[in-house]
Chain A
Amino acid sequence: MTVPLNLISPLLLITGGAVLSLIVGIFLPRRRQGLNALLTLGILALASAAALHLRGTQALVFAGTYAVDALSLWTGVLICLAGALTTLLAWPVFRGDAREAEFYSLLLFSIGGALVLAGAMDLMEMLLGILLSSIPAYVLVAYRRNDPLALEAALKFYLFGALTNAGLILGLSYLYGLSGSTLLAVIPAHLNPDNAALLTLAFVLILTGLAFKAGFVPGHFWMPDVFQGTSVPVAAFLSIVPKLAAFAALIRITQALPQTNWAPVLAVLSAVTMTWGNLAAFRQQDLKRLLAYSSISQSGYLLLGVIAFSTTPLGITVMLYYFAAYLFANLAAFAVLSATAACRLEELAGLGKRRPWLAFSMLAALLSLMGLPPLAGFIGKFLLFSAAIGAGYAWLAILAAINSALSLYYYLRVLAPIYLRSGPSGERASPVASGIALTCAAATLILGIAAYYFTGRAA
């Protein structure tokens, strides 16, 4: 059987590039290691160009284990974009570091794993994707190995990942046992309706693994600690790339199982996740922890889209649009943290006066995460709420709306010191990070106002 290699060219480019950057890193002299960042950017650009070139394709490759379709391709483009922006954020932070080059090749490996996960149509492939994206991520978290906080974060991340992945493997094996196949395309035909309870159990176990990657209850516990302990670029990366890939995988798994087995579970998890994330964010003083909880609550909203995925004709548009809206808003917020090197809320005091454009980026980012028009987050939430109400989950949409109102409180807790207080002047702001912050903030605005163009494109 021949595999049409061009269909998996993004994946090949990323994995090949990761290996290449590892080798290049070995041979680069120490002070030139930063060149690897350039190489990484080039590889990511090529991979997204390849994915864009393939758009419109609808195919299953590798004996039905990997899907090349709108979901995997567009998620892939967004993941590459997030990876490229992370690279740009990381470059000034790790410049001159002894093992600088490794950082980028680990990043590429993790991205490769995420791409595998986003297109996996086979249980083993899914597991492979999760592991391939997780293991380099553990290392990335502990990249500053002399920092005890980073080590602690990596250990928590690793242990928690190992635990949830054990659940995942158990769930996958149950599902295999119930259906006799690992192929998601084959599984639905071999499921016995009498085993509904076991099937739900298998799904719940699989969910623990995906919840770990996507950051929703009950797999979310690592996020605040890891974000706090690691560097800002890695936190930004972890808040976006694994989440997007895991949600793509969740969509594929749910589409293969009967709705009655998973919809109630996901509805409850969605409700708990958004509420938990929002309430826990209320009293955070650490900006990265606050963004971690905000990211958890965003997963709760995204679960709405998974639940309503098959009942609305725009399901895929809704998900991809929300992915993009979340990506830009979240990256803008993290880029502001990176630019100002602020860790705690009060360190942003007076930013509105010192750096109006950075302050504006934070404003746009957080209001978009909150869902205020005309920013992308609003259109995203509008699409999600419509999909949920259309699917008969009005109560969940109401809860999501209440949660949006609640989230305003802690987003304003970040914005209030920026605009309402004065602070010491004279911090240095990294120009690269500032540029990324402003670009991403502009993207949330453009994505919102020109939604016509983007929603038409995705499906």
Chain B
Amino acid sequence: MLHWAVFSPAAGMLLILLVPRGHTRLIRKLAFLSATLTLALWIRIFSDFSPSAGVQFLSRLPWIPQLGIRYELGVDGLSLPLLMMTALIFWCAIVFSWREEKQSKDYFIWFLFLESACLGVFAALDLFLFYVFWDLTLVGMYFIIARWGHTGARAAALQFFIYTLVGSLAMLLAIIGLYLSTHPLSMDMLEIAQARPLRAGGWLAQAVFWGFFIGFAIKTPLVPMHTWLPPAHTDAPAPGSAILAAVLLKMGTYGFLRILLGILPDLFHRYAPLIVALGVVSVLYGALAALAQQDFKRMVAYSSINHMGYVIMAIGVLGTSAPDAGEARTLAFNGAVLQMVSHGLVTGALFLLTGVLWTRAARYDLDGFGGLARVAPQFAALSSLAFFAALGLPGLSGFVAEFQIFVGTFGLYPWAAAFALLGIVITAGVFLRALQRLFLGPLHDQWSGFRDLEIREWLALLPLLFFVILLGIWPGWLLAVINAAAPAFLGPSGP
């Protein structure tokens, strides 16, 4: 089941490879069908998942047995919400790309390739396999940015690829270091998390920790390792930016939880205050930088740094070992994972909305617009909803997640919560100002013919915003799944 759910996009990709160029309609139908099938499979897995049973749907096959490397997939309460979100975002991105005419065959091939790679990252339970999928996402994303991006996309894509590759090579060395410390040699994340071979510390443990840390911090991205992000997001095509922000960034925070917290809890505890501090810095830096942007898409990109900062802050809180911290840590864990999902949905929608703007105006500067609400009320309405979700309005998913993060943080790191709260205030200003500049005020003459949303855009945006509202008013169904995974990450790492 899990194989199919991970590789059905790849199967669709192979089918499309067989279709001759030019059969655009057939190609996009195939892409749509395989994305739909993938989503359906993940919904099925979600409905069969029982929150209390830990890691499920395990499937193990030997790969390089001499080295203890396996092909091993499985899902738990941490990965399943992210996998669901990934499948949904890709479905929306493919629907949104329905009208992509430029080399549409290659376009959908790379998107489906990327989808399988992303699903693989979250579903892999073998470090080697995890790394394989991790690097494949870089290749897929590179080609999507470089080939279908805006002017300057090639430089941005190159920077993205090399920068994040440095991170993943640091991670590779860390994986090797960790792997060489296991007896017998093993790459199994669950086995290693049980055995904790580097418990005793020492220079190797430090090196492994920092190798992983650099890899994940670049991906998340954590200030000051974020500089690849704004150009990559700005110059990618809108669906590509949506995937990049919604899915690829989550791989960084997922790694923090799955590997740094799950496998190296001792060092994680030691450096927890640093992680909280870096999270707060990202929150504030992202918010302030977003405030300074004149370019709508860049603004959204910087707001991602801000939102991922909350996740990192919450993750840092998990490393606290105060005896009475149990409840606060559980809250922070739930908040962190929920915020990862929520940010995926919200920022996915935001980037698709920038795509709406681009297809009509081919520009992003906030000053160039105004009064669009008059000509495109549906666009304005959906955008406002996404903006309010991004600034954390109660009743929408961002609020639930951030609320839990703040409650969890406040008891243990009041100073961090206080600073980060400032970030919320600034973000509110950022999005309200953007709302005002895009949709209110006088309408420029040149936009009098601005078309409102098309059906495909509605179809792509609606599921995202539906879940934003659903998680805002009834997060319980997803929190039950997330919460069940918390003991596995918080239990053994306690004092």
Which residues of A come within 8 Å of B, CB atoms?
A: 314, 317, 352-353, 367, 372-374, 378-379, 382, 385-386, 389-390, 394, 397-398, 401-402, 404-405, 408-409, 412, 416, 419-420, 451-452, 455-456
Quick one: given A373-B136, A455-B66, A455-B67, are A394 and B169 in contact (CB under 8 Å)?
Answer: no
Known pairs A372-B135, A389-B177, A408-B165 / 15 extra A-B pairs, C-beta < 8 Å? A353-B103, A372-B138, A373-B131, A382-B176, A386-B176, A386-B179, A402-B169, A404-B169, A405-B166, A408-B161, A412-B161, A416-B146, A455-B64, A455-B66, A455-B67
Closest to B133 in A: A373
Asked if B65 and A452 make an inter-chain contact with CB atoms under 8 angstroms apart, the answer reads yes
A367 to B161, CA, bound (A): 12
Q: List 20 A-B contacts (CB under 8 A).
A: A314-B66, A314-B67, A353-B103, A372-B136, A372-B138, A373-B132, A382-B128, A385-B176, A386-B176, A389-B176, A394-B177, A394-B207, A401-B173, A404-B165, A404-B169, A405-B166, A416-B146, A452-B63, A452-B66, A456-B65
Closest to B158 in A: A412
Asked if A405 and B162 make an inter-chain contact with CB atoms under 8 angstroms apart, the answer reads yes
Asked if A401 and B169 make an inter-chain contact with CB atoms under 8 angstroms apart, the answer reads yes
Quick one: given A386-B180, A408-B162, A408-B165, are A372 and B139 in contact (CB under 8 Å)?
Answer: yes
Cβ-based interface call for B350 (8 A):
no
Give min CB distance, B348 to chain A, whole Å: 26
B61-104 contacts to A, CB under 8 A, are 62-67, 103
Which residues of B come within 8 Å of A, CB atoms?
A: 62-67, 103, 106, 128, 131-132, 135-136, 138-139, 142-143, 146-147, 154, 158, 161-162, 165-166, 169-170, 172-173, 176-177, 179-180, 207
Nearest 3 Cβ contacts at the A-B interface: A373-B132, A401-B169, A405-B166
Closest to A421 in B: B154
Asked if A374 and B179 make an inter-chain contact with CB atoms under 8 angstroms apart, the answer reads no
Asked if A374 and B139 make an inter-chain contact with CB atoms under 8 angstroms apart, the answer reads no
Across-interface contacts of A419 in B (CB, < 8 A): 143, 146-147
Quick one: given A451-B63, A452-B63, are A405 and B165 in contact (CB under 8 Å)?
Answer: yes
Which of B65, B106, B169, B180 contacts A405 (CB under 8 A)?
B169
Give min CB distance, B247 to chain A, whole Å: 19
Across-interface contacts of B128 in A (CB, < 8 A): 382
Across-interface contacts of A386 in B (CB, < 8 A): 176, 179-180
Give min CB distance, A307 to chain B, whole Å: 16
A356 to B118, CA, bound (A): 25
A352 to B147, CA, bound (A): 11
Asked if B169 and A389 make an inter-chain contact with CB atoms under 8 angstroms apart, the answer reads no
Give min CB distance, A415 to chain B, whole Å: 9
Which of A367, A382, A416, A456 contacts B172 (CB under 8 A)?
A382
Which of B132, B154, B165 contacts A374 (CB under 8 A)?
B132
Which of B66, B142, B166, B177 contacts A402 (CB under 8 A)?
B166
Asked if B135 and A389 make an inter-chain contact with CB atoms under 8 angstroms apart, the answer reads no
Give min CB distance, A405 to chain B, whole Å: 5
Across-interface contacts of A378 in B (CB, < 8 A): 132, 135
A408 to B159, CA, bound (A): 11
Which of B103, B172, B207 contacts A385 (CB under 8 A)?
B172
Across-interface contacts of A385 in B (CB, < 8 A): 172-173, 176
Closest to A409 in B: B162
Give min CB distance, B162 to chain A, whole Å: 6
A451 to B62, CA, bound (A): 11
Across-interface contacts of A451 in B (CB, < 8 A): 63-64
A317 to B161, CA, bound (A): 31
Across-interface contacts of A314 in B (CB, < 8 A): 66-67
Across-interface contacts of A420 in B (CB, < 8 A): 146-147, 154
Across-interface contacts of A402 in B (CB, < 8 A): 166, 169
Closest to A388 in B: B176
A41 to B393, CA, bound (A): 73
Quick one: given A409-B158, A452-B63, A455-B64, are A389 and B173 in contact (CB under 8 Å)?
Answer: yes
Across-interface contacts of A404 in B (CB, < 8 A): 165, 169
Which of A389, A416, A456 contacts B180 (CB under 8 A)?
A389
A342 to B338, CA, bound (A): 52
A31 to B491, CA, bound (A): 80
A404 to B154, CA, bound (A): 20
Across-interface contacts of B173 in A (CB, < 8 A): 385, 389, 394, 397-398, 401
Give min CB distance, B494 to chain A, whole Å: 32
A363 to B249, CA, bound (A): 26
A402 to B158, CA, bound (A): 16
Across-interface contacts of B103 in A (CB, < 8 A): 353
Closest to A416 in B: B154
Of the candidates B128, B154, B161, B169, the one having the most CB atoms from chain A within 10 angstroms of its own CB is B169
Across-interface contacts of B136 in A (CB, < 8 A): 372-374
Across-interface contacts of B176 in A (CB, < 8 A): 382, 385-386, 389, 397
A420 to B235, CA, bound (A): 15
Quick one: given A367-B139, A386-B176, A416-B146, are A456 and B66 in contact (CB under 8 Å)?
Answer: yes
Closest to A352 in B: B106
A317 to B64, CA, bound (A): 12
Across-interface contacts of B64 in A (CB, < 8 A): 379, 451-452, 455
Closest to A367 in B: B139
Across-interface contacts of B162 in A (CB, < 8 A): 405, 408-409
Give min CB distance, B423 to chain A, whole Å: 32
A401 to B215, CA, bound (A): 13
Asked if A373 and B135 make an inter-chain contact with CB atoms under 8 angstroms apart, the answer reads yes
Across-interface contacts of B135 in A (CB, < 8 A): 372-373, 378
Give min CB distance, A317 to chain B, whole Å: 8
A394 to B174, CA, bound (A): 11
Across-interface contacts of B207 in A (CB, < 8 A): 394
Give min CB distance, A47 to chain B, whole Å: 29
Across-interface contacts of B170 in A (CB, < 8 A): 401
Closest to B132 in A: A373
A416 to B155, CA, bound (A): 11
A419 to B143, CA, bound (A): 9
Give min CB distance, A14 to chain B, whole Å: 32
Give min CB distance, B215 to chain A, whole Å: 11
Closest to A404 in B: B169
A402 to B214, CA, bound (A): 13
A381 to B45, CA, bound (A): 36
Across-interface contacts of A398 in B (CB, < 8 A): 173
Across-interface contacts of A409 in B (CB, < 8 A): 158, 162
Across-interface contacts of B67 in A (CB, < 8 A): 314, 455
A408 to B162, CA, bound (A): 7
A77 to B136, CA, bound (A): 32
Closest to B149 in A: A420
Give min CB distance, B27 to chain A, whole Å: 14
Which of A352, A367, A389, A452 contacts B62 (CB under 8 A)?
A452
A408 to B106, CA, bound (A): 22
A401 to B170, CA, bound (A): 7
Closest to B139 in A: A372
Of the candidates A317, A382, A394, the one having the most CB atoms from chain B within 10 angstroms of its own CB is A382
Give min CB distance, B231 to chain A, whole Å: 16
Give min CB distance, B165 to chain A, whole Å: 5
A186 to B147, CA, bound (A): 60
Across-interface contacts of A373 in B (CB, < 8 A): 131-132, 135-136
A398 to B176, CA, bound (A): 11
A453 to B145, CA, bound (A): 36
Closest to B103 in A: A353
Give min CB distance, B185 to chain A, whole Å: 9
Of the candidates A314, A367, A401, the one having the most CB atoms from chain B within 10 angstroms of its own CB is A401
Across-interface contacts of B161 in A (CB, < 8 A): 408, 412
Give min CB distance, A202 to chain B, whole Å: 34
A353 to B128, CA, bound (A): 34
Give min CB distance, B90 to chain A, whole Å: 21
